[in-house]
Chain A
């Protein structure tokens, strides 16, 4: 029932995965919700899909941020604790590694590819919703997500190889 509680985590996650710096991510998330409140008071309030609206605003906010910042956001070094769906302690370490590696690999992708992965896999948006958020056609999103995953797979494969050489 509570819009803020319901939508903050996905919006923040989306921003955070695109923007390495947690402080910047927080600022941007804050911008998104301020825009939301402002829009509600104005004439351009979201009129059908609130989730899509928020993601779209978040996406534009990130684009503005990168436009302004120019330089790549500083990466933080803290370990991410991945969300595990089983409690097998032996695999946990490996999984943590995998996920950390996946995160690094994702950041090597083009912005749109990162976005489509986060929206389609991470946030479980439908194809249509994703298309709306990204202002693309459904078939464009289809091929984008395909290429994104394919590229990511290749990057991960290369990282694997490098690791074996070390």
Chain B
């Protein structure tokens, strides 16, 4: 048992050394074991010195980074935005991916090319927050990130994708209900921004539509800047910069407060008409379906949302629609409503918040994979437990992306039966 005691004391000393104490510090506590312990602790400390040369480590670090980066780039793209592993690790994993991708550079590039709704977009925002948190030049960065939002908006309307985001810029044109902010034309709902004048600097929350238009949802902040319309002089606007972090969070994560009662209530409800109508939901990966993409085997054309390959690939509707027999057709149960998937949603979370079994949600919506939902996808869900009955505007829409006009929910209550045209359409969301 002496041995056992020594083993424990030795371990304690190892911890003390790790904490920065000296060998003597520990031996003073146990003078009776000093003769045995001293040489052992010295040997232990000696092993700490056995490390490869720093230069070798650094060189290896750079080379391995490149290798990993290459691997990351050749990985098949994550097919959809909101796939979030298991809930338990979702947040951690996402932030790890993020930070790792920042580190690996290449991944950060992928994320940087992403748009709202893409899987990597959350990372892009997180990356920015991390950078803002550590940046010496917060103003410069804020301006840079703001410019990104503007660029993203431009891309979103080019691709006719629906998303919501926030940025600031000078109002260069005010012409009835059309403004130009940061060089982008956008419509302003009546009653908004009456006091805004040309030359003012505003922060706006906008929505891009599948028609390629931009609507202002909210004017978050206005700053009257009479003097020459310098487009965004960042350092002068100290107060307005603090909320930037919040901004990013908002646009990606808010569990969607129902939109402000704008006069354009409906545009959000449907997903692109640019969408390829349908194809077999069988998960076979046919390389022939990816015309422009390199080696990766993707099932890209199944949905417009292929984050990483977006630029090369989004508009490749080359497929011939092949109606498939025997498909599961989502039917809206009584008192259920249509819900549009937001970034950050998980199916299990949604089911829980509505007090319904996940399996029921999946069955009703013809889903096969609980992890597989897409931002913007529409599902039938019961009314949330907390909320009262008033049906939301999307009450009667069809789930899936098959609805092919953007105003089909205007009926808003009953009798809006447009279900026939998309029997095979909404399968697109759910296949895998």
Contacts and interface: CB of A to CB of B under 8 A. Distances in A.
Interface residues of B, number: 52
Given A33-B68, A37-B72, A146-B10, A106 B100 contact: no
B421 interface: no
A19 to B, nearest CB: 11
B103 A2 contact: yes
A159 B57 CA distance: 28
Nearest to A141: B11
A5 B102 CA distance: 10
Nearest to B9: A146
Contacts of A17: 50-52
Interface string B40-71: 11011111111111101100110111011001
Contacts of A120: 14, 18, 44
Contacts of B57: 8-9, 12-13, 16
Contact of A122 (B43, B47, B61, B67): B47
Given A45-B92, A99-B49, A33 B85 contact: no
Nearest to B19: A124
A37 B100 contact: yes
A26 interface: yes
B15, B50, B64 interface centre (most CB from chain A within 10 Å)? B50
B96 A83 contact: no
Contact of B44 (A8, A26, A98, A149): A149
A48 B371 CA distance: 21
Contacts of A42: 85
Interface in A15-74: 16-17, 22, 25-26, 29-30, 33-34, 36-38, 40-43, 45-47, 50
A152 interface: yes
B353 interface: no
Contact of A103 (B50, B54, B64): B50
Contact of A43 (B10, B39, B85, B102): B85
B61 A3 contact: no
A127 B11 contact: yes
B93 interface: yes
B220 interface: no
Contacts of B40: 146, 149-150, 153
A122 B85 CA distance: 34
A13 B130 contact: no
A17 B50 CA distance: 8
A3 B103 contact: yes
Contacts of B134: 1
A134 interface: no
Contacts of B322: none
B173 interface: no
A12 B52 contact: yes
Contacts of A47: 88-89, 92-93
B204 to A, nearest CB: 31
B343 interface: no
B250 interface: no
Interface string B358-374: 00000000000000000
A143 interface: yes
Nearest to A118: B47
Contact of B47 (A78, A80, A117): A117
A9 B61 contact: yes
B52, B68, B88 interface centre (most CB from chain A within 10 Å)? B52
Given A30-B64, A43-B86, A121-B48, 7 more contacts: A16-B57, A17-B50, A37-B71, A37-B97, A102-B46, A106-B47, A117-B47
Interface of A: 1-5, 8-9, 12-13, 16-17, 22, 25-26, 29-30, 33-34, 36-38, 40-43, 45-47, 50, 78, 80-83, 95, 98-99, 102-103, 106, 117-118, 120-122, 124, 126-127, 142-143, 145-146, 149-150, 152-153, 156
